């Protein structure tokens, strides 16, 4: 079998020749990338305050301050920037989770009736991460460099154990000499479980009238 | 209806363009890469291709009520489609005031009794008639205001709800232009008794690659397995039993249009239950399938229910009736850049669980944040970057020339390129072609 070397010069000794059937493809988990990502993550992402992640049993959502929430959101952003997506997944609640990005022309779009860009339930979110961790998400192999920025964080009133939070975001994405951006507003519903704060739903409404300046949305906002 | 078959080996190797070479005897079809990179070719395409084809504008369901309108670029020009309040007919107007030019339709979509230019307040009704001019008495009696209505695009026709326009007043009628593609639009339109509609939400993205690469890619069965590995893994995780692979054929539909029609392991929201859908929607989808067979007979009903059809309508419309139905059009802004706009077509009034399945199917595969389309974007951009690398002059699209073309062959792309070559004519547009 002819070995094909990736265009970016990475050593891909197990990358199949392009005529190989998909069934011969390497597993979607790529140990090489996971290891590298974990090392970078360990360097770049300080753990958040223990009250938020790791020891949150009984956390009173209503008692949390904006600063607490910002700390959590900054941690999430740092994990995304470090491409530590496995750890990012652990920030999510395990039930009734939803990650939604409406279309640019219908920011009020309802994913149960309208076309949206992303409507991930728990399985699809996990598969999105698995895909992005693999070498087969061609649009994100090699990964973009990203910078997830959070502003204007505002806390709503806790209802049924869920804390609504809105925040403005700018996500910069750089790849192959090109830069693009995503600007909009996050709408979170946060909950707590025995391990700390968790994201139940995250809806990212884009302010750009079209997605065209960014090209596509292969990254996570 | 006559379908154009693959040319026999006795046909001339010439396609009419020195940039598209066909040699049936040698089973070789190749396209010069300057067609993807040359500014001269791009300028001529705007004139020869986009000014002389029927171009997709939108679907009648988008302007269901009198006064409903949508505004969008078609072939690089800003137009808007509106349903006339009196005539109930769908019009497509150039979006410019006949007075001094400002746009008259300034919202992306909506419903309006009149379109008023804000600059000097000239007002047009939904049929395009000039209905109001401030200080009319300032104009002389000789001026004929009836000639100053909104200007319709030269030709506007629709087929089964799909509205097309052409800037060429002498172009053949739409149904003649569509040739074999009309049958496939029928299959899409007939898949719901209540009719089909474009649903809310538009994918508007861009690709830094030549537009013809997306024409090729949209009907390319060959790339599916190697490129979209992560998508198939997702389907398996959802419970799909991946057996049988893709099985089908490619058809040249005439006038540059082509389709691949095939059976695939995945389910179709139209009327083919798939194990990855879960049991919840099984009964509903199976009853849709039974209704199709009752309406259209066993053969046609099952064809509508079961077969996947990726269709390219020359030059820049793709209707893929696959796990969901997407309507996609694309327009170049330069040789290496295109804007893509995609909508989702769904059955009117369908069961909420079926709608949810359809939506899941669509956005998992399709769309700029799906598990597959971003990788197509990457593939196309990678090709464009490869062209700029130089050293290789020709793309080879000879696959399947010596057999009845299968769905993963390249005859559908050859159909597109033959028509392109015919429209572009004998010039090489300054390309240094070596053979």
pLDDT exceeds cutoff 70 at B225: yes
Question: How many CB atoms neighbour CB A55 within 10 A?
Answer: 13
In-domain check, residue A14:
no
Ramachandran area for residue B260 (φ above 0: left; ψ -120 to 50: alpha; else beta): beta
Q: Name which of A145-154, B140-149, B298-307, B426-435 the model is least confident about.
A: B426-435
Residues 6+ apart with CB under 8 A from B351: B281, B284
pLDDT exceeds cutoff 80 at A16: no
pLDDT exceeds cutoff 90 at A3: no
| Tens of pLDDT, residues B383-417 | 999 999 999 999 999 999 999 888 889 999 999 99
Per-residue model confidence (pLDDT) at position B2: 39
pTM of the full structure:
0.89
Q: For residues B99 and B5, which has the higher predicted lDDT (pLDDT)?
A: B99
| Tens of pLDDT, residues A36-95 | 555 555 556 666 655 555 445 567 888 889 999 999 999 999 999 999 999 999 999 999
Per-residue model confidence (pLDDT) at position B298: 96
Share of chain B above pLDDT 90, in %: 82
pLDDT exceeds cutoff 50 at A7: no
Q: For residues A54 and B137, which has the higher predicted lDDT (pLDDT)?
A: B137
Structural domains of chain B, with CATH? 55-160 (2.102.10.10), 172-424 (3.90.380.10)
| Nearest by Cα to B258 from B402, B420, B413, B418 | B413
Tell if the CB–CB gap between A215 and B205 is shorter than 8 Å: yes
Span between the terminal Cα atoms of chain A, in Å: 39
Q: Name which of A22-26, A91-95, A128-132, B119-123 the model is least confident about.
A: A22-26
- Alpha-carbon span B36 to B21, nearest angstrom: 15
Q: For residues B222 and A180, which has the higher predicted lDDT (pLDDT)?
A: A180
Chain B touched by A115 (CB under 8 Å): yes
Chain B CB contacts of A104 below 8 Å: 202, 204
The mean per-residue pLDDT over the stretch B409-435 comes to 93
In-domain check, residue A187:
yes
Per-residue model confidence (pLDDT) at position A27: 43
In-domain check, residue A221:
no
Per-residue model confidence (pLDDT) at position A195: 77
Per-residue model confidence (pLDDT) at position B247: 80
In-domain check, residue A134:
yes
- Alpha-carbon span B184 to B252, nearest angstrom: 12
The mean per-residue pLDDT over the stretch A181-191 comes to 97
Q: For residues B185 and A11, which has the higher predicted lDDT (pLDDT)?
A: B185
Per-residue model confidence (pLDDT) at position B238: 84
Per-residue model confidence (pLDDT) at position A20: 39
| Nearest by Cα to B89 from B117, B128, B56 | B128
The single-letter DSSP state of residue A12 is -
pLDDT exceeds cutoff 70 at A28: no
Banded pLDDT at A9 (limits 50, 70, 90): very low
Residues 6+ apart with CB under 8 A from A28: A130, A131, A133, A134, A136, B229, B230, B233
- Alpha-carbon span B263 to B248, nearest angstrom: 6
In-domain check, residue A162:
yes
Residue of B230, B338, B365 to mutate for A, most A C-beta atoms under 10 A? B230
The mean per-residue pLDDT over the stretch A8-25 comes to 40
Indicate the number of domains in chain A: 1
Containing H/E element for B263? strand B257-263
Per-residue model confidence (pLDDT) at position B242: 72
The mean per-residue pLDDT over the stretch B131-148 comes to 95
**Token duo for residue A49:** 């305050």
pLDDT exceeds cutoff 60 at A13: no
Apex B414 CA angle, B30 and B371, nearest 5: 100
**Token duo for residue A30:** 């790529």
Per-residue model confidence (pLDDT) at position A61: 87
Banded pLDDT at A4 (limits 50, 70, 90): very low
Residue of B110, B226, B345 to mutate for A, most A C-beta atoms under 10 A? B226
- Alpha-carbon span B271 to B268, nearest angstrom: 6
Question: How many CB atoms neighbour CB B326 within 10 A?
Answer: 23
- Alpha-carbon span A52 to A193, nearest angstrom: 10
DSSP B58-80: EEGGGG-STTEEEEEEETTEEEE
- Range(s) of the domain holding residue A118: 22-214
Chain B's closest residue to A28, CA to CA, is B230
Handedness of CA B55, B57, B61, B64 (dihedral sign): negative
Banded pLDDT at B234 (limits 50, 70, 90): confident
The mean per-residue pLDDT over the stretch B76-85 comes to 97
Chain B's closest residue to A210, CA to CA, is B204
Chain B touched by A134 (CB under 8 Å): yes
In-domain check, residue A5:
no
Residues 6+ apart with CB under 8 A from B268: B274, B305, B306, B308, B321, B322, B323, B324, B361
Per-residue model confidence (pLDDT) at position B170: 98
Apex B118 CA angle, B115 and B121, nearest 5: 75
Average pLDDT, chain A: 82
Chain B CB contacts of A140 below 8 Å: 374
In-domain check, residue A1:
no
DSSP A42-103: HHH-----TTTBTS-TT--GGG--HHHHHHHHHHHHHHHHTT-HHHHHTTB-SSS-EEEEE-
- Alpha-carbon span B10 to B349, nearest angstrom: 52
Closest to B234 (Cβ–Cβ): which among A19, A127, A215? A127
Dihedral (C-alpha) B237, B262, B177, B61: value to the nearest 10 degrees? -40
ipTM of the complex: 0.91
The mean per-residue pLDDT over the stretch B141-168 comes to 97
A1 alpha carbon, distance to own chain's centre? 36
In-domain check, residue A13:
no
Chain B touched by A136 (CB under 8 Å): yes
Average pLDDT, chain B: 93
- Alpha-carbon span B373 to B363, nearest angstrom: 9
| Tens of pLDDT, residues B276-305 | 898 999 999 999 999 999 999 999 999 999
Banded pLDDT at B47 (limits 50, 70, 90): very high
CATH number of the structural domain spanning residue A118: 3.10.450.50
Residue of B229, B239, B280, B349 to mutate for A, most A C-beta atoms under 10 A? B229
Closest to A218 (Cβ–Cβ): which among B225, B234, B369? B369
| Tens of pLDDT, residues B240-288 | 877 766 788 999 999 999 999 999 888 999 999 998 898 999 999 999 9
């Amino acid at each position: 079998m002819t070995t094909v070397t990736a265009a970016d010069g990475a050593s891909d000794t197990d990358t199949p020749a392009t005529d190989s059937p998909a069934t011969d493809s390497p597993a979607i988990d790529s140990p090489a990338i996971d290891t590298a990502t974990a090392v970078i993550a360990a360097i770049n992402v300080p753990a958040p305050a223990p009250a938020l992640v790791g020891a949150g049993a009984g956390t009173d959502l209503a008692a949390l301050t904006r600063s607490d929430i910002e700390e959590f959101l900054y941690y999430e952003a740092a994990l995304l920037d470090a491409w530590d997506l496995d750890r990012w997944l652990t920030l999510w609640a395990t039930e009734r989770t939803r990650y939604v990005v409406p279309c640019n022309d219908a920011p009020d779009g309802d994913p149960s009736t309208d076309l949206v860009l992303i409507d991930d339930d728990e399985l699809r979110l996990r598969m999105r991460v698995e895909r992005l961790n693999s070498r087969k998400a061609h649009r994100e192999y090699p990964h973009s460099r990203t910078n997830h920025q959070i502003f204007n964080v505002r806390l709503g009133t806790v209802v049924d154990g869920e804390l609504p939070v809105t925040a403005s975001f700018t996500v910069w994405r750089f790849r192959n000499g090109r830069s693009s951006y995503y600007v909009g507003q996050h709408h979170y519903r946060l909950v707590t479980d025995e391990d700390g704060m968790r994201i139940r739903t995250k809806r990212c409404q884009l302010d750009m009238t079209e997605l065209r300046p960014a090209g596509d949305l292969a990254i996570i906002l | 209806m006559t379908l154009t078959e693959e040319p026999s080996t006795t046909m001339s190797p010439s396609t009419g363009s020195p940039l598209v070479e066909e040699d049936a005897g040698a089973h070789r079809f190749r396209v010069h890469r300057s067609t993807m990179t040359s500014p001269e070719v791009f300028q001529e395409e705007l004139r020869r291709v986009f000014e002389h084809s029927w171009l997709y504008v939108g679907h009648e369901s988008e302007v269901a009520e009198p006064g409903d309108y949508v505004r969008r670029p078609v072939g690089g020009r800003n137009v808007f489609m509106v349903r006339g309040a009196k005539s109930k007919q769908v019009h497509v107007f150039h979006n410019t005031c006949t007075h001094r030019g400002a746009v008259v339709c300034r919202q992306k979509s909506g419903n309006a009794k009149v379109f008023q230019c804000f600059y000097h307040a000239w007002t047009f009704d939904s049929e395009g008639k000039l209905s109001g001019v401030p200080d009319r008495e300032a104009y002389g009696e000789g001026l004929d205001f009836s000639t100053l209505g909104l200007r319709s695009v030269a030709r506007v026709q629709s087929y089964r709800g799909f509205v097309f326009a052409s800037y060429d007043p002498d172009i053949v009628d739409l149904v003649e232009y569509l040739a074999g593609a009309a049958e496939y639009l029928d299959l899409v339109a007939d898949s719901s008794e209540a009719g089909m509609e474009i649903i809310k939400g538009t994918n508007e993205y861009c690709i830094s690659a030549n537009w013809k690469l997306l024409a090729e890619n949209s009907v390319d069965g060959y790339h599916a397995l190697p490129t979209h590995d992560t998508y198939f893994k997702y389907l398996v995780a959802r419970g799909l039993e991946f057996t049988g692979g893709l099985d089908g054929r490619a058809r040249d539909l005439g006038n540059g249009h082509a389709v691949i029609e095939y059976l695939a392991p995945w389910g179709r929201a139209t009327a083919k239950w798939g194990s990855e859908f879960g049991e919840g929607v099984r009964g509903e989808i199976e009853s849709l399938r039974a209704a199709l067979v009752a309406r259209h007979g066993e053969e046609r009903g099952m064809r509508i229910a079961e077969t996947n059809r990726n269709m390219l309508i020359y030059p820049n419309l793709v209707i893929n009736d696959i796990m969901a139905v997407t309507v996609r059009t694309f327009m170049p802004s330069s040789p290496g850049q295109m804007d893509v706009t995609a909508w989702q077509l769904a059955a009117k009034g369908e069961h909420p669980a079926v709608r949810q399945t359809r939506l899941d199917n669509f956005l998992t595969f399709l769309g700029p944040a799906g598990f597959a389309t971003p990788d197509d974007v990457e593939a196309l951009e990678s090709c464009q970057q490869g062209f700029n690398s130089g050293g290789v002059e020709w793309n080879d699209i000879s696959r399947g020339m010596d057999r009845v073309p299968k769905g993963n062959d390249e005859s559908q792309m050859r159909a597109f390129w033959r028509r392109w070559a015919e429209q572009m004519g004998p010039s090489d547009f300054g390309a240094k072609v070596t053979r």
